Structure 1
Amino acid sequence: MQYLLNDNVVKSENAAKPHSQKAKDVHDYLISLGKVNKTLDFGCGKLRYADSIVEMSESVTFLDSKIQLTRQQMVKNEKTSVANYVSNNYLNCDCVPYEDVDKIQTKFDLIVCTNVISAIPCPETIQNIFRIFSDLISSNGKVIVINQHRSSYFKKFESGEKHLFGYLYESRRGTSYYGIITKTVVKDLVAEHDIEVVNDWVSGDITFSEIMKSLNPGCEEELMT
C-alpha cells in the first residue's frame, strides 16, 4: 500500500522482509498451533512465513496490496510475483488484493498478521484492518497479531518525525514509517470492534497478541444505557 503524508509517499510494500529473515520464535509459535482448516495470511508481503503457514493449514488465502501481489520482485530466490509464486508452488492456496477484501465470503479459522500494523502510517487503515478481522474470523477462530514492540533494530527511525505509533524517516529511498506496536496498543485497537485480546506476551523484541470474537459483543453499551 502507498500513503500520501505531507506530500511524501510512504510505500509500505517496501517494508516487507524476505523468507530468509523469518524469525524462529514466530515460526515455532505458528507450528505449535497445530493443523487448521482455513487460514488468512493478512499482509503476506514477500511470503516471509508462507512455508510455515502452508505447513499448518489445509488452505491459505494470501492477502496484500495489489501492487505487492503483482509486481515483479525477488520472491523466495525467484524473480517473479507473489501471486505467480503462490499459484505455482502452493496447493489449495490463492491470493486476494487488499483492495478486494470486502468481496471475501469465507470465514477463517486463523488470521495471521505479522509485522503489518507497524508499517501502516494511517489510523483509518489500521481501524479498517481490525474491522476486517472481526468480519472474517470464524466464531471460534483466532487472529494472531505479531509485531516488534521496540525499535532496537531501527534506531535511525527515532531521529525522524514522530508520527502515530512511531516515526517517519527520510532517506535516499524516500519516506519510510516504522510504528512501535505494544500489547497496550493492540488492546486499544480492538476496543472498537467485536473482538478482544485473549492472550498476549513478549518474546525478545516481538509482541504476540491472540484475538478472538468477543463473547458478549455490545454488552457494555447495553449496561450503560
Structure 2
Amino acid sequence: MRYLVDGVEIRSENAAKPASQKSAAVDFYLASLEGRPKLLDFGCGKLRYSDTLVEVASTVTFVDSFVQLNREQVVRGGKTTVRAFVRSNYSNCQTISSEEIDNHFEKYDVVTCTNVLSAIPCPATLTQVVGSIRRLLKAGGMAVFVNQHRSSYFKRYELGERLLYGYLYEGKRGYSYYGILGKKNIENLLRENGFYINRSWCAGETTFTEASPCR
C-alpha cells in the first residue's frame, strides 16, 4: 500500500521481507494450524510464509495492494510477480488486491495478518483493515495477528519523526513507517473493532494474538 501523510508518500511495499527472512517462531506457529482451514493471508507481501500456509490450508487467498501483487520483483528466489507466482505454483489458490477486498464475499476459517498492522501509518486504514478481516471470517472463524512488540532494528527508525505507533523514517528508497504494536495496543485495537481475544502471547520480539468476531 501507499499512503500520503502530511504530503509525504510512504510505500509500505518496500518493507516486505522475502521468504529467506522468515521468523522461525512465526513459521512454526503457522505450521501448527490444524484442520486444513480455508485461509486468507491479509498482507502477503513477497509470499514470505506462503509455502507453509499452502501446506496447512485447503486453499489460500493471498491479499495485498495492487502494486505489490503486480510489480515485477524477486519472489521466492526468482524475478516475477506475486500474482504470476501464485498462479504457476499454488493450485486452488488465488490473489486479490486490497483495493478489491470490499467486493470479495467469500468467508474463511482463518485469516492471517503477519507484520501488517505495524506498517500502516493511518488510524482510518487500520480500522478499515481490521474491519475487513472481521467481515471475511466465518462464524466461529479465527484471525491471527502477528506484530513486533520490540525490535533490535528499531533504534535506526527512532531518528525519524514520531507517528502513531512508531516513526516516519527517510531512507535510500524514500519514506518508510515502522510501528511497534505492543500486546495491549493490539488487543485494544481489536476490541474497539468488534473482536474478542481468544489468547495472546509473546515469543521473543513477536506478539501473537488469536481473535474472533464478537457474537
TM-score w.r.t. the length of structure 1 is 0.93
Aligned amino acid, residue 141 of structure 2: G
Q: Report the counterpart of residue 127 of structure 2 in structure 1.
A: 127
Aligned amino acid, residue 181 of structure 1: L
Give the ranges of 4+ consecutive aligned residues of structure 1 lying more than 4 Å apart after TM superposition.
none
Deviates more, 1:189-198 or 1:169-178: 189-198
Aligned amino acid, residue 178 of structure 2: Y
* 1:178 equivalent in alignment to 2:178: yes
Instruction: Name the CA distance, whole Å, in 2 between partners of 1:20 and 1:154.
Output: 21
TM-score w.r.t. the length of structure 2 is 0.97
Q: Report the counterpart of residue 221 of structure 1 in structure 2.
A: none
* 1:38 equivalent in alignment to 2:38: yes
Matches within 5 A, 1:45-84: 45-84=45-84
Q: Is the 8 A contact 1:36 1:110 kept in 2?
A: no
Could you tell me the percent identity over the aligned residues? 47
SS in 2 for 1:29: helix
Q: Report the counterpart of residue 220 of structure 1 in structure 2.
A: none
Size of the aligned set, in residue pairs, is 215
* 1:212 equivalent in alignment to 2:212: yes
Q: Report the counterpart of residue 223 of structure 1 in structure 2.
A: none
Instruction: Name the CA distance, whole Å, in 2 between partners of 1:210 and 1:122.
Output: 23
Instruction: Name the CA distance, whole Å, in 2 between partners of 1:63 and 1:129.
Output: 11
Q: Is the 8 A contact 1:198 1:210 kept in 2?
A: yes
Q: CA deviation at 1:36?
A: 2.5
Q: Report the counterpart of residue 13 of structure 1 in structure 2.
A: 13
Structure 1 residue runs without a partner (length 5+): 216-225
Q: Is the 8 A contact 2:191 2:197 kept in 1?
A: no
Q: CA deviation at 1:154?
A: 2.5
Aligned amino acid, residue 145 of structure 1: F
Instruction: Name the CA distance, whole Å, in 2 between partners of 1:107 and 1:196.
Output: 18
Instruction: Name the CA distance, whole Å, in 1 between partners of 2:190 and 2:25.
Output: 24
Q: CA deviation at 1:196?
A: 1.3
Matches within 5 A, 1:67-216: 67-215=67-215
SS in 2 for 1:111: strand
- Deviations along 1:109-136, one digit per CA (max 9) or x if unpaired, are 0000001011111110000011111111
Q: Report the counterpart of residue 218 of structure 1 in structure 2.
A: none
Deviates more, 1:165-174 or 1:89-98: 165-174
Q: Is the 8 A contact 1:40 1:61 kept in 2?
A: yes
Q: CA deviation at 1:153?
A: 1.9
Q: Is the 8 A contact 1:36 1:109 kept in 2?
A: no
SS in 2 for 1:27: helix
Q: CA deviation at 1:189?
A: 1.0
Deviates more, 1:32-41 or 1:159-168: 32-41
Aligned amino acid, residue 166 of structure 1: G
Instruction: Name the CA distance, whole Å, in 2 between partners of 1:149 and 1:90.
Output: 32
SS in 2 for 1:125: helix
Instruction: Name the CA distance, whole Å, in 1 between partners of 2:78 and 2:127.
Output: 34
Q: CA deviation at 1:35?
A: 3.2
Q: Is the 8 A contact 2:86 2:93 kept in 1?
A: yes
Deviates more, 1:57-66 or 1:130-139: 130-139
Deviates more, 1:151-160 or 1:95-104: 151-160
Aligned amino acid, residue 142 of structure 1: M
